[in-house]
């Protein structure tokens, strides 16, 4: 599944879409905004699937494929994007509660094996499918051991941190490893420093047992970190990946 792969918006796609209402918008970080939509009656999806979000832009109507950042156990659908100057992103940032948008889906396949220990590795906006997985595991009361390794540039760029901390407080089987590469001298940070690298992943793999490894984010990051995980002895059949196109 690719978060920003784009295809022509045909009349058939518009006809098969559903109109939904914006419930809430929030600046998760200085560069990432999230929205919550009312979940349509009868709308079902699997953990970490995606939908096509259709927005009116200056040039007409545009859509992007976005990972659902909420679990099917919630009564809303949540999404997030990193800001840019693209027409779609500008329109996304202008959304406000009460606005109507159209969605089409769900689609995509980045399956969560809920009965197996899981190690989630990501950075920045790549957190979105893992929010869905972590919420589902927590809301469902799963005893599956889960570890999230989440890298960002600075403390104020950690998206969904308040939600993640609440989930970790509730779910005693969830461990979160935050790390930042460019800490600000004016910000308090009680977690790790540095990028997600071989040393950090070596620690995670050493305690991972027969876990499934999930990687999501820009293709370069996913490929590079997947190679590190495999080099540390994790069989390829236990590595899952989700690449977000359109990000550097």
For residues 134-165, one letter each, b for 16 or more C-beta atoms within 10 angstroms of the residue's C-beta and e for the rest, the string is bbbbbeeebebbbbbbbbbbebebbbbbebbe
- Asked if 76 and 146 sit in the same domain, the reply is no
Instruction: Give the gyration radius of the chain's Cα atoms.
Output: 18
Query: What single string gives the DSSP state of each residue in the chain?
Result: --TT------HHHHHT-EEEEEEEEEESSSSEEEEEEEPPTT----TT-EEEEEEEETTEEEEEEEE--S-TTSSEEEEEEE--SSHHHHHHHH--TT-EEEEEEEE------TTS-EEEEEEGGGGHHHHHHHHHHHHTT----EEEEEEESSGGG-TTHHHHHHHHHH-TTEEEEEEESS--TTS---SEES-S-HHHHHHHHHT-TTPEEEEEESHHHHHHHHHHHHHTT--GGGEEEEE-TT--
Residue 84 is assigned to a structural domain of this protein: yes
Picking from 107, 141, 169, the residue at the C-terminal end of a domain is: 107
Assign residue 37 the CATH number of its domain.
Answer: 2.40.30.10
| Domains: count for the chain | 2
Structure confidence by residue, pLDDT tens digits, 52-90: 999 988 878 898 999 999 999 999 999 999 999 899 999
Tell me if 67 sits within 8 A of 53, measured CB to CB: no
Residue at which a domain ends, from 78, 107, 136:
107
- Answer whether residue 5 is part of any domain: no
The Cα 39–Cα 224 span in angstroms is 36
Whether 6 has a pLDDT exceeding 50, the answer reads no
Distance (Å, whole) CA 193 – CA 145: 24
Q: What's the pLDDT at 189? A: 84
Domain identity same for 31 and 125: no
Beta bridge partners of 214: 120, 240
CATH number at 152 reads: 3.40.50.80
Q: Residue 167's CB: how many other CB atoms inside 10 A?
A: 20
In a domain, 223, yes or no: yes
Q: How far apart are CA 114 and CA 126, in angstroms?
A: 20
User: Do 144 and 232 share a domain, yes or no?
Assistant: yes
Residues 95 and 135 in one domain: no
- Could you list the residue range(s) of the whole structural domain that residue 16 is in? 11-107
Same structural domain for residues 86 and 148? no
CA 115 and chain centroid, separation: 21
- The verdict on 160 and 76 lying in the same domain is no
pLDDT in tens, 196-208: 999 999 999 998 8
Least confident of 10-14, 91-95, 126-130, 224-228: 10-14
Is 248 part of a structural domain of the chain? Answer: no
Q: Above 60 in pLDDT, residue 217?
A: yes
Please state which of the ranges 14-18, 27-31, 69-73, 104-108 shows the lowest mean pLDDT. 14-18
């Amino acid at each position: 599944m690719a978060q920003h792969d784009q295809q022509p918006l045909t009349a058939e796609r518009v006809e098969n879409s559903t109109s939904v209402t914006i419930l809430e918008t929030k600046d998760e970080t200085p560069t990432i905004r999230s929205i919550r939509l009312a979940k349509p009656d009868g709308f079902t999806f699997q953990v970490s699937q995606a939908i096509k979000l259709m927005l009116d832009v200056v040039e007409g109507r545009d859509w992007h494929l976005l990972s659902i950042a909420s679990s099917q156990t919630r009564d809303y659908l949540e999404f997030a994007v990193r800001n840019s100057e693209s027409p779609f992103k500008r329109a996304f940032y202008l959304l406000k509660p009460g606005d109507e948008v159209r969605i089409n889906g769900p689609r995509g396949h980045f399956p969560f094996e809920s009965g197996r220990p899981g190690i989630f590795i990501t950075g920045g906006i790549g957190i979105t499918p893992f929010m869905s997985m972590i919420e589902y595991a927590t809301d469902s009361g799963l005893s599956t051991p889960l570890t999230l390794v989440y890298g960002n540039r600075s403390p104020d760029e950690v998206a969904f941190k308040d939600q993640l901390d609440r989930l970790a407080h509730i779910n005693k089987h969830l461990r979160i490893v935050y790390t930042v590469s460019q800490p600000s001298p004016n910000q308090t940070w009680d977690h790790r420093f540095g990028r997600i690298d071989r040393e950090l992943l070596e620690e995670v793999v050493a305690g991972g047992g027969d876990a499934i490894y999930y990687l999501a984010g820009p293709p370069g990051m996913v490929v590079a970190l997947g190679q590190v995980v495999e080099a540390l002895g994790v069989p390829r059949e236990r590595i899952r990946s989700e690449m977000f196109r359109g990000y550097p």
